[in-house]
Structure 1
Amino acid sequence: MTVPETMRAIDPKAPGGPEVLVLVERPVPRPGEGEVLVRVAAAGINRPEVMQRKGMYPPPPGAPSIFGLELSGTIVALGQGVPREMLGQPVCALVSGGAQAEYAVAPLGTCLPVPEALTMIEAAAMPETLFTVWTNVFERAYASEGETILIHGGTSGIGTMAITLCKLFGVETIVTAGSDEKCAAAREIGAGHAINYKTEDFVTRVKEITGGKGVNIVLDMVGGDYVPRNLQCLADEGRHVSIAAQGGMIATIPILEIMRKRLTLTGSTLRPRPVEFKTLVADELHRTVWPLVAAGQLKPVIDRVFSLAEAAEAHRRMEAGEHVGKIVLLMETQL
């Protein structure tokens, strides 16, 4: 197919509220060595983009200023060193930016094939949460069958992916959420237990649920004063994994508790990591998780789909905190 010179994209000039997210015209990017150009079908929305819009999370050096960290679509042009047979392949990809546009460049190494079991909307909602959950829960916290994990933000994109993935790998899940309706939604998705953190003390409830033993892992995206409370939830040899700090960047922790229970505190960020690291993760996902995706056993939970022109509405939906699962932008060419 012929690739046009320009495209529509979400690329605001200055930080601000959701209203800055309007369609603009940009040159279609060209793939470099080891990269592909994707005609985008859909792109996921993630909380880092909300922070970027507010001016709190600038793109890493070399990343496009166009918003969007994950996409699905069809490869329409190849950079140097990419095999010819990749042309025309449907893929989803993790990118450092640029997904919320009609065309985007992706490293071949972070592309995964879209099997028949996934729609393009579902495929676009996979990479960011899947890479994040896999690297943090299964690599950094080395979750294994028969263990129990406490997941905060159980109905977020990350939370719903963590519930589904843990269930497939035999890890018991306890989640927190901010309403009885969200707790019910989390249980429906597959959470073993769901705690309404606004009406119940999650530390007390975790101890009750686990018979006083505590959980093996906490996946935390709150930070702040949640961290010492999370440590109270951990069993001996427990692992605490921080992936965001929506409740505060600083935590006061009881050192003796860490020593006494032999706890591990770890965490990571994904976006600034080099392509080489993300390629290794993609390879591991292709081997270990993608057969489950191809078999229809692992799908993202989709909250709502907006058109690219409705990006502002999509951000308002995310900031309202009412969503369950992933919010996705669909290109008008797919409507």
Structure 2
Amino acid sequence: MFKMRNFIVFLKCILCLFLSGIATHTLAETKKLLIIDSENAAPYTEARASLLLELEERGYKTGENLEVSYYSINNNKGTGIRVLRAEAGNHDVIFTNGTIASLAAHTFGYANPEHKFVYCSVTDPIGLGLIQSFNQPANSNFTGVAYGIPVYERLHFLRLVLPEARTLAMIHSDLPQSKSYVKWLKDELSMPEFKDLRIIFVEIPFLSGEHGSKRMIRQMEHKVQELSPVVDVFLTPSDQFGTKPIYAETISKLSDKPIMALTEQELKLGWGSHFGAYPNQENAGRMAARMVLDLFNGSPMDKIESVYSNVMYGIHKPYTDRLNAPLPNSIWVSNQITVFHK
């Protein structure tokens, strides 16, 4: 009996040591993630939420074995650099969500092996100098998921929905991503498939903050009124100006011409856009999360390829029903197009 009691005590000690080892191992496995959003708004909020959800589903839960530090820099590059100077050295991976956040990261720590960056929601990572090409291993300390869709996909979908459209207009800001996107559109118009299309580009200086957006809208209003009689379609731009609800709402209020969206929210939430081709931001966040996990687990940066998210298509039925010309029947029967009814 005495020997049995001693044996049980011995087993309990072994079990305590084993559990203590597990706890110590778990503590050692805690990772630190720094998240910097260009702005605390769409499309960044979607990508961030899906990133954290994917990390949790794969075993890293905030407050347990994942420490997350979050900052929104309100599209101010200088603020982003100051955040990185203070925080970068204390984190295993840095997630930069948006062009301005990633531009700050590039200025702060490009090619510095002490810092590992995963970007998301960046329109032109090649133009910013973050990477050299897509679907290739990283050549620096940056990798990630680009924002947007190939320009060809957008113009091709426009052709399917409004085959008679010839003159387009895009009112955009002077942000770096807008300048890149304008260049890509101009390049695509030189292709035979789109040579009969014409795009009128109107640039408005970007002003940050809520009051800045309102001032930009005031500048935009008279441009919409000037353009409406001569264009067939308005295109929302690839920048923070175009992703705000007030952008499509303003055009919808001042013009009866269709608006082509570049984000899902414009259609899903009924901001005024009629149809669109757009990136899957939920998928983009999940793809970025898997890159973060690879880095957490010790994968070298040059083994992780930079990619685009997948393309999605949508139509807002109540708005398109108000157009003078009906859409082709093929659009309504396609199982690749989401039809929004609210």
TM over 0.5: no
Structure of greater Rg? 2
TM-score (norm: length of structure 2): 0.36
Greater share of residues in strand: 1
Greater share of residues in helix: 2
TM-score (norm: length of structure 1): 0.37
